[in-house]
A and B are shown apart, each in its own frame.
Chain A
Amino acid sequence: MGDTTFYDLVRGPLLRFALFIFFAGISYRFFRVVFLGLPPDYAKPKGNPYYMAVKKIVIKPTMGWTFNEIFSRRAVNFIGGFLFHLGFLGLTFFVPAHALLWREITGLPIPTIPNLLGDILAYAALGSLLALTIHRMLNPVLKLLTGKDEYFANFLIGAILFTGLLATKWAGGGFYVWILSTHMLLADLLIIYIPFSRLSHFVYYFLSVGFMGWNAGKRGVSF
Protein backbone atom coordinates (compact mmCIF):
# COMPACT_ATOMS: atom_id res chain seq x y z
CA MET A 1 0.00 0.00 0.00
CA GLY A 2 1.38 3.40 -0.99
CA ASP A 3 1.61 6.18 1.54
CA THR A 4 -1.09 8.33 -0.07
CA THR A 5 -3.46 5.35 -0.29
CA PHE A 6 -2.92 4.76 3.41
CA TYR A 7 -3.38 8.47 4.08
CA ASP A 8 -6.66 8.47 2.15
CA LEU A 9 -7.82 5.48 4.20
CA VAL A 10 -7.08 6.98 7.63
CA ARG A 11 -8.52 10.40 6.81
CA GLY A 12 -11.51 9.06 4.89
CA PRO A 13 -13.36 5.83 5.67
CA LEU A 14 -11.49 5.06 8.90
CA LEU A 15 -12.07 8.55 10.35
CA ARG A 16 -15.76 8.39 9.44
CA PHE A 17 -16.00 4.94 11.06
CA ALA A 18 -14.16 6.17 14.18
CA LEU A 19 -16.45 9.19 14.54
CA PHE A 20 -19.53 7.01 14.12
CA ILE A 21 -18.29 4.58 16.80
CA PHE A 22 -17.46 7.54 19.07
CA PHE A 23 -20.93 9.07 18.92
CA ALA A 24 -22.68 5.69 19.02
CA GLY A 25 -20.52 4.46 21.92
CA ILE A 26 -20.88 7.61 24.00
CA SER A 27 -24.66 7.68 23.48
CA TYR A 28 -24.96 3.95 24.17
CA ARG A 29 -23.18 4.15 27.51
CA PHE A 30 -25.12 7.22 28.57
CA PHE A 31 -28.57 6.02 27.57
CA ARG A 32 -28.00 2.51 28.91
CA VAL A 33 -27.79 4.14 32.36
CA VAL A 34 -30.54 6.69 31.71
CA PHE A 35 -33.03 4.04 30.60
CA LEU A 36 -32.41 2.06 33.78
CA GLY A 37 -34.02 5.02 35.57
CA LEU A 38 -33.91 6.14 39.18
CA PRO A 39 -36.12 4.91 42.02
CA PRO A 40 -39.07 7.25 42.47
CA ASP A 41 -38.38 10.09 44.91
CA TYR A 42 -41.54 11.76 46.15
CA ALA A 43 -39.79 14.26 48.41
CA LYS A 44 -40.06 17.94 47.44
CA PRO A 45 -36.67 19.43 46.40
CA LYS A 46 -35.21 21.42 49.27
CA GLY A 47 -33.01 23.58 47.07
CA ASN A 48 -32.55 24.37 43.39
CA PRO A 49 -31.21 21.18 41.74
CA TYR A 50 -30.55 22.63 38.27
CA TYR A 51 -28.74 25.71 39.55
CA MET A 52 -26.60 23.50 41.79
CA ALA A 53 -25.84 21.14 38.89
CA VAL A 54 -24.52 24.00 36.76
CA LYS A 55 -22.69 25.51 39.73
CA LYS A 56 -20.97 22.20 40.47
CA ILE A 57 -19.84 21.82 36.84
CA VAL A 58 -18.50 25.38 36.72
CA ILE A 59 -16.73 25.64 40.09
CA LYS A 60 -15.69 22.00 40.65
CA PRO A 61 -12.36 22.31 38.84
CA THR A 62 -11.32 25.21 41.10
CA MET A 63 -12.60 23.80 44.38
CA GLY A 64 -9.26 22.32 45.39
CA TRP A 65 -7.25 25.34 44.39
CA THR A 66 -5.82 26.24 47.79
CA PHE A 67 -2.13 26.93 48.12
CA ASN A 68 -1.54 24.01 50.46
CA GLU A 69 -3.52 21.59 48.34
CA ILE A 70 -1.69 22.50 45.16
CA PHE A 71 1.89 23.02 46.24
CA SER A 72 2.40 20.94 49.31
CA ARG A 73 0.47 17.76 48.67
CA ARG A 74 -0.60 17.17 45.06
CA ALA A 75 1.56 19.48 42.98
CA VAL A 76 2.16 17.07 40.08
CA ASN A 77 -1.51 16.11 39.91
CA PHE A 78 -2.82 19.65 39.93
CA ILE A 79 -0.27 21.47 37.81
CA GLY A 80 0.40 18.54 35.47
CA GLY A 81 -3.29 17.73 35.13
CA PHE A 82 -4.22 21.34 34.44
CA LEU A 83 -1.44 21.83 31.87
CA PHE A 84 -2.18 18.54 30.16
CA HIS A 85 -5.92 19.16 29.82
CA LEU A 86 -5.40 22.73 28.69
CA GLY A 87 -2.80 21.65 26.14
CA PHE A 88 -4.53 18.57 24.80
CA LEU A 89 -7.99 20.10 24.46
CA GLY A 90 -6.57 23.35 23.07
CA LEU A 91 -4.66 21.41 20.43
CA THR A 92 -7.55 19.07 19.63
CA PHE A 93 -9.97 21.86 18.80
CA PHE A 94 -8.10 25.03 17.97
CA VAL A 95 -4.92 24.22 15.98
CA PRO A 96 -5.72 25.40 12.40
CA ALA A 97 -5.69 21.92 10.80
CA HIS A 98 -7.94 20.52 13.57
CA ALA A 99 -10.23 23.56 13.67
CA LEU A 100 -10.86 23.13 9.94
CA LEU A 101 -11.81 19.49 10.59
CA TRP A 102 -14.26 20.39 13.39
CA ARG A 103 -15.71 23.17 11.25
CA GLU A 104 -16.39 20.61 8.53
CA ILE A 105 -17.96 18.16 11.00
CA THR A 106 -20.08 20.58 13.05
CA GLY A 107 -20.48 23.53 10.70
CA LEU A 108 -19.61 25.84 13.60
CA PRO A 109 -17.08 28.70 13.18
CA ILE A 110 -14.32 27.23 15.35
CA PRO A 111 -11.58 29.85 15.95
CA THR A 112 -7.91 29.00 15.36
CA ILE A 113 -4.86 29.66 17.50
CA PRO A 114 -1.46 30.92 16.26
CA ASN A 115 1.23 28.28 15.71
CA LEU A 116 3.38 29.63 18.53
CA LEU A 117 0.58 29.05 21.04
CA GLY A 118 0.00 25.62 19.50
CA ASP A 119 3.67 24.76 20.03
CA ILE A 120 3.57 25.93 23.66
CA LEU A 121 0.43 23.85 24.30
CA ALA A 122 1.96 20.79 22.61
CA TYR A 123 5.17 20.90 24.64
CA ALA A 124 3.18 21.61 27.84
CA ALA A 125 0.83 18.70 27.18
CA LEU A 126 3.62 16.27 26.26
CA GLY A 127 5.82 17.27 29.23
CA SER A 128 2.97 17.13 31.73
CA LEU A 129 1.75 13.78 30.35
CA LEU A 130 5.22 12.35 30.91
CA ALA A 131 5.34 13.78 34.45
CA LEU A 132 1.85 12.45 35.23
CA THR A 133 2.75 8.98 33.93
CA ILE A 134 5.94 8.80 35.98
CA HIS A 135 4.01 10.09 38.98
CA ARG A 136 1.48 7.30 38.51
CA MET A 137 4.26 4.72 38.41
CA LEU A 138 5.95 6.01 41.58
CA ASN A 139 3.11 7.12 43.83
CA PRO A 140 2.02 4.05 45.86
CA VAL A 141 -1.68 4.98 46.01
CA LEU A 142 -1.95 5.94 42.33
CA LYS A 143 -0.02 2.81 41.41
CA LEU A 144 -2.72 0.69 43.04
CA LEU A 145 -5.44 2.52 41.12
CA THR A 146 -3.67 2.27 37.78
CA GLY A 147 -4.28 -0.51 35.30
CA LYS A 148 -3.27 -1.30 31.74
CA ASP A 149 -6.06 0.99 30.53
CA GLU A 150 -4.36 4.11 31.91
CA TYR A 151 -0.93 3.23 30.58
CA PHE A 152 -2.33 2.41 27.15
CA ALA A 153 -4.31 5.66 27.08
CA ASN A 154 -1.28 7.69 28.15
CA PHE A 155 0.89 6.01 25.54
CA LEU A 156 -1.68 6.57 22.80
CA ILE A 157 -2.14 10.26 23.66
CA GLY A 158 1.63 10.75 23.99
CA ALA A 159 2.17 9.17 20.57
CA ILE A 160 -0.50 11.40 19.05
CA LEU A 161 1.07 14.52 20.53
CA PHE A 162 4.55 13.46 19.40
CA THR A 163 3.58 12.55 15.84
CA GLY A 164 1.49 15.73 15.63
CA LEU A 165 4.52 17.79 16.61
CA LEU A 166 6.64 15.89 14.07
CA ALA A 167 4.03 16.46 11.36
CA THR A 168 4.13 20.19 12.05
CA LYS A 169 7.89 20.54 12.29
CA TRP A 170 9.08 17.84 9.90
CA ALA A 171 11.02 18.93 6.86
CA GLY A 172 12.92 15.70 6.27
CA GLY A 173 11.43 14.56 3.00
CA GLY A 174 9.24 11.70 1.88
CA PHE A 175 8.45 10.24 5.31
CA TYR A 176 6.24 13.23 5.99
CA VAL A 177 3.16 11.49 4.57
CA TRP A 178 3.77 8.41 6.74
CA ILE A 179 4.16 10.58 9.85
CA LEU A 180 0.97 12.49 9.08
CA SER A 181 -0.84 9.20 8.39
CA THR A 182 0.46 7.66 11.64
CA HIS A 183 -0.75 10.73 13.54
CA MET A 184 -4.20 10.39 11.99
CA LEU A 185 -4.34 6.62 12.47
CA LEU A 186 -3.53 6.99 16.18
CA ALA A 187 -6.14 9.75 16.45
CA ASP A 188 -8.70 7.42 14.81
CA LEU A 189 -7.83 4.73 17.36
CA LEU A 190 -8.18 7.22 20.22
CA ILE A 191 -11.58 8.37 18.97
CA ILE A 192 -12.74 4.73 18.93
CA TYR A 193 -11.13 4.01 22.31
CA ILE A 194 -12.60 6.98 24.22
CA PRO A 195 -16.17 5.68 24.75
CA PHE A 196 -14.99 2.30 26.01
CA SER A 197 -12.29 3.42 28.42
CA ARG A 198 -11.80 5.76 31.34
CA LEU A 199 -11.04 8.44 28.79
CA SER A 200 -14.81 8.70 28.47
CA HIS A 201 -14.59 11.15 31.39
CA PHE A 202 -14.00 13.54 28.47
CA VAL A 203 -17.82 13.49 28.17
CA TYR A 204 -19.16 11.84 31.33
CA TYR A 205 -17.21 14.03 33.73
CA PHE A 206 -19.70 16.83 33.16
CA LEU A 207 -22.65 14.48 33.47
CA SER A 208 -21.52 12.87 36.72
CA VAL A 209 -20.44 16.15 38.32
CA GLY A 210 -23.71 17.73 37.18
CA PHE A 211 -25.68 14.84 38.69
CA MET A 212 -23.85 15.23 41.98
CA GLY A 213 -24.70 18.95 41.99
CA TRP A 214 -28.31 18.20 41.06
CA ASN A 215 -28.56 15.71 43.93
CA ALA A 216 -27.05 18.19 46.38
CA GLY A 217 -29.52 20.83 45.18
CA LYS A 218 -32.43 18.43 45.64
CA ARG A 219 -31.41 17.68 49.18
CA GLY A 220 -30.65 21.32 49.91
CA VAL A 221 -27.07 20.68 51.03
CA SER A 222 -23.84 22.38 50.00
CA PHE A 223 -20.89 20.59 48.36
Chain B
Amino acid sequence: MESLYHIYRRRGYTRRDFLKSVLLLSAVLGFPPTSFGQAVKALELKPKPVVIWLEFQDCAGCTESFIRSTSILPSDVLLDYISLEYHETLMSPSGFYAEEAKREAIEKYKGKYILIVEGSVSPRNKGVYCTVSGKSNVELLKEAAQNAGLVIAVGSCASWGGIPHAEPNPTGAVPVSQILGDRQVVNIPGCPPISDVMVAVIAGFVITGKPPELDSMGRPKTFYGQTIHDRCYRRPFYNAGKLAGSFDDESARKGYCLYKLGCKGPITRNACATIRWNGGLSFPIQSGHPCFGCSEPNFWDRGFIYSPLSVVEGGFGWKGILAGVATGVALGAASAAINKKFREK
Protein backbone atom coordinates (compact mmCIF):
# COMPACT_ATOMS: atom_id res chain seq x y z
CA MET B 1 0.00 0.00 0.00
CA GLU B 2 1.17 3.53 -0.77
CA SER B 3 2.75 5.80 1.83
CA LEU B 4 2.01 9.50 2.19
CA TYR B 5 5.16 10.36 0.25
CA HIS B 6 4.09 8.25 -2.72
CA ILE B 7 0.69 9.92 -2.75
CA TYR B 8 2.33 13.36 -2.76
CA ARG B 9 4.53 12.43 -5.72
CA ARG B 10 1.65 10.83 -7.61
CA ARG B 11 -0.41 13.97 -7.12
CA GLY B 12 2.38 16.07 -8.63
CA TYR B 13 3.75 17.61 -5.42
CA THR B 14 7.50 17.90 -4.93
CA ARG B 15 9.57 16.35 -2.15
CA ARG B 16 9.94 19.85 -0.74
CA ASP B 17 6.12 20.08 -0.44
CA PHE B 18 6.12 16.74 1.36
CA LEU B 19 8.84 17.85 3.79
CA LYS B 20 7.03 21.12 4.47
CA SER B 21 3.83 19.21 5.31
CA VAL B 22 5.68 16.85 7.66
CA LEU B 23 7.40 19.82 9.31
CA LEU B 24 4.04 21.52 9.87
CA LEU B 25 2.55 18.28 11.14
CA SER B 26 5.46 17.78 13.59
CA ALA B 27 5.07 21.35 14.83
CA VAL B 28 1.30 20.99 15.29
CA LEU B 29 1.79 17.72 17.19
CA GLY B 30 4.42 19.36 19.38
CA PHE B 31 7.20 16.95 18.43
CA PRO B 32 10.74 18.12 19.26
CA PRO B 33 12.83 19.24 16.24
CA THR B 34 15.10 16.23 16.73
CA SER B 35 12.28 13.84 15.83
CA PHE B 36 11.70 15.44 12.42
CA GLY B 37 13.81 12.75 10.71
CA GLN B 38 11.79 10.00 12.36
CA ALA B 39 8.53 11.64 11.24
CA VAL B 40 9.74 11.97 7.62
CA LYS B 41 10.92 8.36 7.58
CA ALA B 42 7.65 7.06 9.01
CA LEU B 43 5.44 8.92 6.55
CA GLU B 44 7.77 8.06 3.67
CA LEU B 45 7.81 4.33 4.35
CA LYS B 46 4.79 3.32 6.42
CA PRO B 47 1.66 2.36 4.50
CA LYS B 48 -1.30 4.70 4.71
CA PRO B 49 -3.55 4.13 7.72
CA VAL B 50 -6.66 2.03 7.39
CA VAL B 51 -9.70 3.77 8.85
CA ILE B 52 -13.17 2.48 9.62
CA TRP B 53 -15.50 5.39 10.31
CA LEU B 54 -18.78 4.66 12.08
CA GLU B 55 -21.61 7.16 12.30
CA PHE B 56 -24.31 6.85 14.95
CA GLN B 57 -26.45 9.69 16.34
CA ASP B 58 -24.70 12.44 14.39
CA CYS B 59 -25.24 15.17 11.81
CA ALA B 60 -22.16 14.29 9.68
CA GLY B 61 -20.74 17.70 10.59
CA CYS B 62 -17.51 16.11 11.84
CA THR B 63 -17.14 14.38 8.45
CA GLU B 64 -17.75 17.69 6.69
CA SER B 65 -15.06 19.27 8.84
CA PHE B 66 -12.63 16.36 8.30
CA ILE B 67 -12.71 16.48 4.50
CA ARG B 68 -11.95 20.20 4.57
CA SER B 69 -8.53 19.83 6.11
CA THR B 70 -6.35 22.34 4.32
CA SER B 71 -3.37 23.49 6.29
CA ILE B 72 -1.72 20.19 7.30
CA LEU B 73 -2.55 18.03 4.31
CA PRO B 74 -4.16 19.40 1.15
CA SER B 75 -7.70 17.99 0.95
CA ASP B 76 -6.95 16.18 -2.34
CA VAL B 77 -4.11 14.32 -0.61
CA LEU B 78 -6.00 13.70 2.60
CA LEU B 79 -8.70 11.46 1.14
CA ASP B 80 -6.07 9.51 -0.75
CA TYR B 81 -3.78 9.28 2.25
CA ILE B 82 -6.30 7.57 4.47
CA SER B 83 -7.61 4.22 3.35
CA LEU B 84 -11.22 4.79 4.30
CA GLU B 85 -12.55 1.22 4.23
CA TYR B 86 -15.96 2.14 5.56
CA HIS B 87 -17.65 5.52 5.80
CA GLU B 88 -21.42 5.78 5.29
CA THR B 89 -21.31 9.35 4.02
CA LEU B 90 -18.26 9.14 1.77
CA MET B 91 -18.27 5.58 0.39
CA SER B 92 -20.02 4.70 -2.88
CA PRO B 93 -21.25 1.15 -2.07
CA SER B 94 -24.31 0.76 0.08
CA GLY B 95 -26.39 -1.94 1.73
CA PHE B 96 -24.96 -5.47 1.76
CA TYR B 97 -21.78 -4.55 -0.15
CA ALA B 98 -20.91 -1.77 2.26
CA GLU B 99 -21.35 -4.02 5.30
CA GLU B 100 -19.36 -6.75 3.63
CA ALA B 101 -16.51 -4.32 2.94
CA LYS B 102 -16.43 -3.41 6.62
CA ARG B 103 -16.42 -7.03 7.74
CA GLU B 104 -13.57 -7.82 5.37
CA ALA B 105 -11.55 -4.80 6.54
CA ILE B 106 -11.97 -5.78 10.18
CA GLU B 107 -10.72 -9.30 9.35
CA LYS B 108 -7.87 -8.20 7.11
CA TYR B 109 -6.48 -5.38 9.26
CA LYS B 110 -7.14 -6.95 12.66
CA GLY B 111 -5.43 -4.93 15.41
CA LYS B 112 -4.09 -2.38 12.94
CA TYR B 113 -6.98 -0.27 11.76
CA ILE B 114 -8.11 2.99 13.30
CA LEU B 115 -11.75 3.09 14.35
CA ILE B 116 -13.28 6.56 14.23
CA VAL B 117 -16.70 7.04 15.75
CA GLU B 118 -18.89 10.04 15.00
CA GLY B 119 -22.09 10.62 16.96
CA SER B 120 -23.32 9.40 20.31
CA VAL B 121 -24.37 5.84 21.08
CA SER B 122 -27.86 4.92 22.21
CA PRO B 123 -28.04 1.78 24.35
CA ARG B 124 -31.62 2.43 25.58
CA ASN B 125 -34.21 -0.22 24.66
CA LYS B 126 -31.51 -2.52 23.27
CA GLY B 127 -30.23 0.22 20.95
CA VAL B 128 -33.39 0.31 18.86
CA TYR B 129 -33.11 4.06 18.21
CA CYS B 130 -30.01 3.73 16.03
CA THR B 131 -29.51 0.65 13.87
CA VAL B 132 -27.61 -0.12 10.69
CA SER B 133 -28.34 -3.24 8.64
CA GLY B 134 -30.48 -4.63 11.42
CA LYS B 135 -27.79 -4.36 14.09
CA SER B 136 -27.97 -1.99 17.03
CA ASN B 137 -25.37 0.78 17.33
CA VAL B 138 -23.99 -0.72 20.55
CA GLU B 139 -23.43 -4.06 18.84
CA LEU B 140 -21.78 -2.40 15.82
CA LEU B 141 -19.49 -0.33 18.04
CA LYS B 142 -18.36 -3.26 20.19
CA GLU B 143 -17.81 -5.42 17.11
CA ALA B 144 -15.61 -2.82 15.38
CA ALA B 145 -13.76 -1.70 18.53
CA GLN B 146 -12.77 -5.22 19.53
CA ASN B 147 -9.99 -5.51 16.95
CA ALA B 148 -9.13 -1.83 16.43
CA GLY B 149 -5.59 -0.57 16.92
CA LEU B 150 -6.88 2.80 18.05
CA VAL B 151 -10.37 4.12 18.82
CA ILE B 152 -11.02 7.80 18.21
CA ALA B 153 -14.27 9.51 19.16
CA VAL B 154 -14.65 12.61 16.98
CA GLY B 155 -16.99 15.42 17.91
CA SER B 156 -18.77 16.33 21.11
CA CYS B 157 -21.52 13.74 20.49
CA ALA B 158 -19.11 10.80 20.41
CA SER B 159 -16.91 12.28 23.15
CA TRP B 160 -19.53 13.47 25.67
CA GLY B 161 -22.95 12.57 24.26
CA GLY B 162 -23.40 16.02 22.69
CA ILE B 163 -26.72 17.30 21.45
CA PRO B 164 -28.48 13.87 21.44
CA HIS B 165 -27.50 13.63 25.13
CA ALA B 166 -29.03 17.04 25.94
CA GLU B 167 -32.15 17.17 28.10
CA PRO B 168 -34.47 15.27 27.89
CA ASN B 169 -32.19 12.82 26.06
CA PRO B 170 -35.03 10.74 24.58
CA THR B 171 -32.77 8.04 23.16
CA GLY B 172 -30.58 7.65 26.26
CA ALA B 173 -27.52 8.83 24.30
CA VAL B 174 -24.11 8.23 25.88
CA PRO B 175 -20.50 8.81 24.81
CA VAL B 176 -18.46 6.10 23.09
CA SER B 177 -16.17 5.67 26.11
CA GLN B 178 -19.13 4.68 28.29
CA ILE B 179 -19.95 1.71 26.05
CA LEU B 180 -16.35 0.56 25.63
CA GLY B 181 -15.56 0.60 29.35
CA ASP B 182 -11.84 0.11 29.96
CA ARG B 183 -10.87 0.40 26.30
CA GLN B 184 -8.82 3.54 25.69
CA VAL B 185 -10.70 6.10 23.58
CA VAL B 186 -9.09 9.24 22.20
CA ASN B 187 -11.68 12.00 22.46
CA ILE B 188 -11.49 14.82 19.93
CA PRO B 189 -14.43 16.96 21.02
CA GLY B 190 -15.88 19.98 19.23
CA CYS B 191 -19.01 20.71 17.29
CA PRO B 192 -17.40 19.95 14.92
CA PRO B 193 -13.76 19.34 15.86
CA ILE B 194 -11.03 21.17 13.96
CA SER B 195 -10.14 19.13 10.88
CA ASP B 196 -6.40 19.61 11.28
CA VAL B 197 -6.59 18.23 14.82
CA MET B 198 -8.29 15.05 13.57
CA VAL B 199 -5.74 14.63 10.76
CA ALA B 200 -2.81 15.32 13.08
CA VAL B 201 -3.96 12.70 15.61
CA ILE B 202 -4.23 10.06 12.86
CA ALA B 203 -0.87 11.00 11.34
CA GLY B 204 0.70 11.12 14.81
CA PHE B 205 -0.47 7.55 15.39
CA VAL B 206 1.13 6.48 12.09
CA ILE B 207 4.43 8.16 13.03
CA THR B 208 4.74 7.01 16.64
CA GLY B 209 2.62 3.85 16.56
CA LYS B 210 0.85 4.91 19.76
CA PRO B 211 -1.96 7.25 20.78
CA PRO B 212 -1.12 10.83 21.76
CA GLU B 213 -0.67 11.85 25.38
CA LEU B 214 -4.15 12.30 26.83
CA ASP B 215 -5.59 14.32 29.70
CA SER B 216 -7.89 12.87 32.36
CA MET B 217 -10.86 13.15 29.99
CA GLY B 218 -9.16 11.35 27.13
CA ARG B 219 -8.35 14.45 25.05
CA PRO B 220 -4.95 14.92 23.38
CA LYS B 221 -3.03 17.32 25.63
CA THR B 222 -1.36 18.97 22.67
CA PHE B 223 -4.66 20.37 21.41
CA TYR B 224 -6.81 20.50 24.52
CA GLY B 225 -4.17 21.34 27.14
CA GLN B 226 -5.04 25.02 27.23
CA THR B 227 -8.15 27.11 27.21
CA ILE B 228 -9.13 29.26 24.24
CA HIS B 229 -8.89 32.26 26.59
CA ASP B 230 -5.19 31.53 27.19
CA ARG B 231 -4.36 31.79 23.52
CA CYS B 232 -7.02 34.26 22.37
CA TYR B 233 -5.76 37.27 20.47
CA ARG B 234 -8.37 39.36 22.36
CA ARG B 235 -6.85 38.38 25.73
CA PRO B 236 -4.93 41.68 26.14
CA PHE B 237 -8.28 43.50 26.01
CA TYR B 238 -9.60 41.22 28.76
CA ASN B 239 -6.52 41.90 30.86
CA ALA B 240 -7.00 45.64 30.36
CA GLY B 241 -10.69 45.36 31.31
CA LYS B 242 -11.82 46.43 27.85
CA LEU B 243 -14.99 44.46 27.17
CA ALA B 244 -17.41 44.81 24.27
CA GLY B 245 -20.85 45.91 25.52
CA SER B 246 -22.89 44.61 22.58
CA PHE B 247 -22.36 42.96 19.20
CA ASP B 248 -22.31 46.17 17.21
CA ASP B 249 -21.18 48.99 19.46
CA GLU B 250 -17.95 50.97 19.17
CA SER B 251 -16.10 48.66 21.60
CA ALA B 252 -17.08 45.59 19.53
CA ARG B 253 -15.79 47.29 16.38
CA LYS B 254 -12.49 47.93 18.15
CA GLY B 255 -12.20 44.18 18.79
CA TYR B 256 -12.59 44.27 22.58
CA CYS B 257 -12.97 41.04 24.58
CA LEU B 258 -16.38 39.32 24.28
CA TYR B 259 -16.60 38.26 27.96
CA LYS B 260 -19.70 40.37 28.65
CA LEU B 261 -21.44 38.90 25.61
CA GLY B 262 -21.12 35.41 27.05
CA CYS B 263 -17.76 34.14 25.76
CA LYS B 264 -16.94 30.73 27.24
CA GLY B 265 -13.31 30.87 26.10
CA PRO B 266 -12.02 30.99 29.70
CA ILE B 267 -13.39 27.52 30.46
CA THR B 268 -13.15 25.88 27.03
CA ARG B 269 -10.25 23.72 25.98
CA ASN B 270 -9.67 23.63 22.26
CA ALA B 271 -7.13 24.75 19.65
CA CYS B 272 -9.48 27.23 17.89
CA ALA B 273 -7.40 30.24 18.95
CA THR B 274 -4.15 28.75 17.61
CA ILE B 275 -4.88 26.47 14.64
CA ARG B 276 -8.15 28.28 13.76
CA TRP B 277 -10.51 27.22 10.98
CA ASN B 278 -10.57 27.21 7.20
CA GLY B 279 -6.83 26.93 6.73
CA GLY B 280 -6.05 29.16 9.71
CA LEU B 281 -8.22 31.97 8.38
CA SER B 282 -10.44 32.68 11.38
CA PHE B 283 -12.39 31.29 14.33
CA PRO B 284 -15.69 32.29 16.00
CA ILE B 285 -14.19 34.88 18.37
CA GLN B 286 -12.27 36.47 15.51
CA SER B 287 -15.49 36.83 13.56
CA GLY B 288 -17.05 38.67 16.52
CA HIS B 289 -19.10 35.91 18.11
CA PRO B 290 -18.38 34.67 21.63
CA CYS B 291 -17.18 31.09 22.04
CA PHE B 292 -20.00 28.97 23.44
CA GLY B 293 -17.80 26.13 24.56
CA CYS B 294 -18.90 23.45 22.07
CA SER B 295 -15.97 21.19 22.92
CA GLU B 296 -16.83 20.98 26.63
CA PRO B 297 -19.15 18.34 28.11
CA ASN B 298 -22.87 19.23 28.30
CA PHE B 299 -22.34 22.54 26.53
CA TRP B 300 -25.87 22.47 25.13
CA ASP B 301 -27.54 21.96 28.51
CA ARG B 302 -25.63 24.86 30.01
CA GLY B 303 -27.92 27.14 28.05
CA PHE B 304 -26.48 30.51 29.03
CA ILE B 305 -24.91 31.10 25.63
CA TYR B 306 -25.16 34.90 25.74
CA SER B 307 -24.82 35.41 29.52
CA PRO B 308 -21.42 36.29 30.97
CA LEU B 309 -19.59 33.46 32.72
CA SER B 310 -19.79 35.10 36.14
CA VAL B 311 -23.59 35.19 36.40
CA VAL B 312 -25.50 32.60 38.42
CA GLU B 313 -26.38 29.73 36.17
CA GLY B 314 -30.15 29.38 36.14
CA GLY B 315 -30.57 32.85 37.70
CA PHE B 316 -31.34 33.94 41.27
CA GLY B 317 -32.94 37.40 41.12
CA TRP B 318 -35.40 39.08 43.46
CA LYS B 319 -37.48 35.91 43.68
CA GLY B 320 -34.49 34.08 45.17
CA ILE B 321 -33.77 36.95 47.55
CA LEU B 322 -37.40 37.10 48.70
CA ALA B 323 -37.53 33.31 49.16
CA GLY B 324 -34.40 33.50 51.35
CA VAL B 325 -35.70 36.44 53.37
CA ALA B 326 -39.14 34.83 53.82
CA THR B 327 -37.51 31.63 55.10
CA GLY B 328 -35.34 33.66 57.48
CA VAL B 329 -38.31 35.66 58.79
CA ALA B 330 -40.34 32.49 59.33
CA LEU B 331 -37.48 30.83 61.20
CA GLY B 332 -36.89 34.02 63.24
CA ALA B 333 -40.57 34.22 64.20
CA ALA B 334 -40.64 30.53 65.14
CA SER B 335 -37.51 30.93 67.25
CA ALA B 336 -38.92 34.02 69.00
CA ALA B 337 -42.20 32.19 69.68
CA ILE B 338 -40.38 29.21 71.19
CA ASN B 339 -38.25 31.53 73.35
CA LYS B 340 -41.35 33.35 74.54
CA LYS B 341 -43.00 30.06 75.46
CA PHE B 342 -39.98 29.01 77.54
CA ARG B 343 -39.90 32.38 79.30
CA GLU B 344 -43.58 32.12 80.18
CA LYS B 345 -43.01 28.67 81.69
Contact = CB atoms under 8 A, between A and B. Distances in A.
A180 B241 contact: no
B92 interface: no
Interface string A77-118: 000000000000000000011101101111100001011101
B210 to A, nearest CB: 22
Sorting the interface of chain A by its residue count into under 10, 10 to 19, 20 to 34 or 35 or more gives 35 or more
Given A115-B240, A177-B227, A104 B317 contact: yes
Contacts of B310: 11, 97-98, 100-101
Interface string B302-345: 10000111111111111011011111110111011101100000
A30 to B, nearest CB: 7
Contact of A16 (B266, B312, B328): B312
A101 B312 contact: yes
Contacts of B296: 4
A95 to B, nearest CB: 9
A32 B335 contact: yes
Contacts of B239: 115, 168-169
A20 interface: yes
A112 B267 CA distance: 23
A20 B267 contact: no
A2 interface: yes
B216 interface: yes
A31 interface: yes
Nearest to B293: A4
B328 A27 contact: yes
A20 B324 contact: yes
B266 A31 contact: no
Contacts of B311: 100-101, 103-104
A177 B215 CA distance: 14
Given A27-B327, A115-B239, A35 B313 contact: no
B191 to A, nearest CB: 15
A193 interface: no
Contacts of B216: 2
A47 interface: no
B226 A8 contact: no
A5 interface: yes
A130 to B, nearest CB: 25
A11 B230 CA distance: 21
A43 interface: no
A105 B317 contact: yes
B320 A11 contact: no
Interface of A: 2-5, 7-8, 11-13, 15-16, 19-36, 96-98, 100-101, 103-107, 112, 114-116, 118, 168-169, 171-174, 176-177, 180
Interface of B: 215-217, 225-227, 229-230, 235, 239-241, 243, 259-260, 266-267, 269, 293, 296-298, 302, 307-318, 320-321, 323-329, 331-333, 335-337, 339-340
Query: Shortest 4 CB-CB distances between A and B: which pairs?
Result: A27-B328, A23-B324, A31-B332, A115-B241
